[in-house]
Amino acid sequence: MTWTIRDADPGEREALVGIWRRAVEATHHFLGPAEIDDLEPRVRAELARAALRVAEGPDGPVGFLGGSAGEVDMLFVDPPVHGRGAGTALLDDAAAHHPVLTLDVNEQNPTARDWYARRGFVETGRSESDEDGRPYPLLHLRRVTPPGPAPDRALKNGGRRVPREGAREPA
């Protein structure tokens, strides 16, 4: 599926809150319903002031990313489209503007940890609690370059190794 990545429209904040809530309910199993309810006003406030990019499909927004200067503060995708490339498209859009991306992920969210690892993020640290001091450890992640195949400069001429230009041949 191809997603359109664009700036968020202030009129779609309610739709983005809905995406956030459904994504959290589907992936943050360590949070109970009351904790999610308690977080919602804060999320609403953050969405109102954050610079947001939206992944849009034929029926409207399916995910969003918020952050600045290469720091991803939030990335949420509606569960019905998990695994269809919307989150990756949002990350690729951010990486096009910032070659180094950093973010925090809840340690108790193994699905997200694995998802970020498959996209080239590595752990650079850990905090025992979240930014509000709650007992939800955060893993600090960083990706320097988008993952992808290395340029095929070494194998040419029927599989014989060809040195890069300016490289010396081994003795």
Give per-residue pLDDT as tens, 77-101: 999 999 999 999 999 999 998 989 9
Q: Where are the beta strands (DSSP E) in 107-168?
A: 122-127, 138-143, 155-156, 160-161
Check whether 165 has a pLDDT greater than 50: no
Cβ partners under 8 Å of residue 70, min gap 6:
94, 97, 98, 99, 100, 101, 102
> What percent of the chain stands above pLDDT 70?
84
Give the pLDDT band of residue 153 (cuts 50, 70, 90).
Answer: very low
Which CATH class for the 4-149 domain? alpha beta
| pLDDT value for 144 | 84
| Residue 53 to residue 56: CA distance in whole angstroms | 10
Give per-residue pLDDT as tens, 29-54: 899 999 999 999 999 999 998 999 99
Q: What angle do CA 122, 126, 131 make, to 5 degrees?
A: 120
Residues 106-126: what's their mean pLDDT? Answer: 94
What integer best gives the mean pLDDT of the chain?
86
Query: Please, are residues 117 and 102 in contact by the beta-carbon 8 Å criterion?
Result: no
Q: Which amino acid belongs to residue 123?
A: E
Q: Model pTM?
A: 0.81
Check whether 16 has a pLDDT greater than 90: yes
Higher pLDDT, 55 or 148: 55
Residues 22-31: what's their mean pLDDT? Answer: 93
Please tell me whether residue 7 adopts helix, strand or coil conformation: strand
Alpha helices in the chain (DSSP H): 13-27, 33-49, 86-97, 110-118
Check whether 55 has a pLDDT greater than 90: yes
Task: Concatenate the DSSP letters of all residues of 72-118 into one string.
Answer: EEEEEE-GGGTTSSHHHHHHHHHHHH-SSEEEEEETT-HHHHHHHHH
Please tell me whether residue 146 adopts helix, strand or coil conformation: coil
| pLDDT value for 145 | 65
